[in-house]
Structure 1
């Protein structure tokens, strides 16, 4: 029998470029092991000060649109007070105010309840840190 609360950590390598990494399959695989077919909630959390979790359509250009929009809102310039790392790295520390570092989603019958075109994505604009951890936690009844 599955426990009411189960958690696991994904190690994700995002590379040396800004990225939107689709984690949907990883979330579904975790739920297959953790949910026992039960209803509950999946919490996705990235414990980094320069990354976030987004629910959006991927593969149709929306992921690139998100990165372009973040560039327009948060240009990689040296105007930020937080100045260590690559030039303009301060913007990466502002990112989680726009793309939260967490999301909580419904799980019904052990399956992630997403809309037809929705995916769970890690948004990472920090090119100085290519290794990320993402914590998946299932709370079920």
Structure 2
């Protein structure tokens, strides 16, 4: 019988661009769900943030932020900036994506040895970011 379990993670960010590791939170939710086999959706319901999976190595994390800044060019005169100065973050979220899906096998989140799950903040600091975690399976 298929079941659905939902929970959210609330975090705050401290920088305009930042990677926040949410792996432990997501794994706890998967275990708490009691679902043995299925999928886990991690979704950031924000138009200026994204979700990625990659290695938690500080040099690489810095490189990812550098690349994102080069990709979205926050200093560029984007048209959206006429009404709000965060066009770069909207573009980054659109390109990177606001969600990731992971398998759940034998009650555990499946990810690669070097894959952690990160919120990519591109419009911080924010006092509250919400990440939705939905576990679906049996």
TM-score, normalized by length of structure 2?
Answer: 0.91
Describe how 1:59-78 pairs up with structure 2 within 5 A: 59-78=57-76
Describe how 1:25-36 pairs up with structure 2 within 5 A: 25-34=24-33, 36=34
Quick check: 2:35–2:136 contact (8 Å CA) kept in 1?
A: no
Residues 75-121 of structure 1, C-alpha deviations (whole Å, 9 max, x = no match)? 112411111444xx210110112210001100101101111100011
Quick check: 2:54–2:114 contact (8 Å CA) kept in 1?
A: yes
Identify the residue that residue 120 of structure 2 maps to in structure 1: 123
Q: For structure 2, which runs of at least 5 residues remain unmatched after alignment?
A: none
SS at match of 2:88: helix
SS at match of 1:61: helix
Identify the residue that residue 14 of structure 2 maps to in structure 1: 15
Query: Aligned pair 1:57/2:55, yes or no?
Result: yes
Structure 1 residue ranges (4+ consecutive) displaced by more than 3 angstroms after TM superposition: none
Quick check: 2:35–2:135 contact (8 Å CA) kept in 1?
A: no
Choose between structure 1 and 2: higher helix proportion. Answer: 2
Quick check: 1:16–1:130 contact (8 Å CA) kept in 2?
A: no
In structure 1, how many angstroms separate the alpha carbons of the residues matched to 2:2 and 2:12?
29
Identify the residue that residue 46 of structure 2 maps to in structure 1: 48
RMSD between aligned alpha carbons? 1.7
In structure 1, how many angstroms separate the alpha carbons of the residues matched to 2:48 and 2:75?
16
Quick check: 1:7–1:136 contact (8 Å CA) kept in 2?
A: yes
TM-score, normalized by length of structure 1?
Answer: 0.89
